[in-house]
Amino acid sequence: MADPLQTMRLRYGEAEIGTPLTRLQLKLHRNRARREAIRTEVESLLDEERRLTIEAERLEALRVRLVEEETDRIRERNGEGWSPVPIIGFRMWAIERDRVVGATGHVWDEASQEARCARSRGDDDLPHTDHQCSSVGHGCGIYAASDPSHLPWPGDTDYVAGVVLLSGKVVEHERGYRAARARVAGAIVRRLGRVLVTTERERLDLVFRSPLDAVIRFGAQCPAPDPIELCHEMERLREETRQWT
């Protein structure tokens, strides 16, 4: 567009300095130069952004690994563990009005239970390890002894003693565990002078629905067993449980 004008000016010797067109052309040149500088700067910033993105991905992977390592160290210091194989523990229940009742008064109406805590949020991993949720024992969770000799074996009263499989979050203590979940794998039931020892799933389910029905159908008349004999029987149940876990 400017070439014909330049031709005419050269032909007739007219100068172009100071005219409005000259000033406009200068502004266009500056505008073009500025846009080119911005494009160069943008490309440099995009290159920097790509570099930072790659660096952030590496740092995030490192952060996740360090978080996992620190979490594992805290769990180890507090006796907390996650195991792909259930941990075997031992429990004792009372029988009240033909219901199986734990030490805190919770009724076990089936052979599997999950831990609950009144102070938990939806995303909490139970049992808690901050010592803030309970004034009883070590806090929330399903308790189990690490050895049958640690159980409070009763005298001439009705009870259920069981081998339990602990899973989920499991916190270890000096004489036992607290767990997120527990399933009874074997039980000794004493009810009205009859005793039942079983590892059969259907019979265990019946024990927690009605221990009286269970001992009537599958138990035998027996005097109160000696606690030492009961410990030996629990050990035998543990070995049976290990075979199929």
- Closest by Cα among 179, 59, 48 to 126: 179
Give the amino acid at 233.
E
Confidence grade of residue 245 (pLDDT, cut at 50, 70, 90):
low
Q: Are residues 168 and 47 in the same domain?
A: no
- Closest by Cα among 151, 242, 137, 148 to 199: 242
Q: Are residues 128 and 186 in the same domain?
A: yes
Q: Are residues 133 and 210 in the same domain?
A: yes
Hey, how many other C-beta atoms are within 10 angstroms of the C-beta on 137?
13
pLDDT digit string (tens) for 153-189? 887 789 999 999 999 889 888 899 999 999 999 999 9
From 77, 99, 115, give the residue that closes a domain.
77
pLDDT digit string (tens) for 198-238? 999 999 999 999 999 999 999 999 887 888 888 899 898 88
User: pTM, whole model, 2 decimals?
Assistant: 0.65
* List of residues 6+ apart from 167 with CB closer than 8 A: 83, 86, 87, 179, 180, 181, 182, 183
pLDDT digit string (tens) for 57-86? 888 888 888 887 787 677 666 655 566 678
Q: Are residues 155 and 198 in the same domain?
A: yes
From 77, 95, 120, give the residue that closes a domain.
77
How far CA 224 is from CA of 150, 155, 182, in Å, comes to 19, 7, 27
Q: Are residues 145 and 70 in the same domain?
A: no
Q: Are residues 8 and 103 in the same domain?
A: no
From 77, 108, 124, give the residue that closes a domain.
77
| Parent domain of 61 | 3-77
Q: Are residues 51 and 124 in the same domain?
A: no
Q: Are residues 110 and 191 in the same domain?
A: yes
Position with higher pLDDT, 1 vs 71: 71
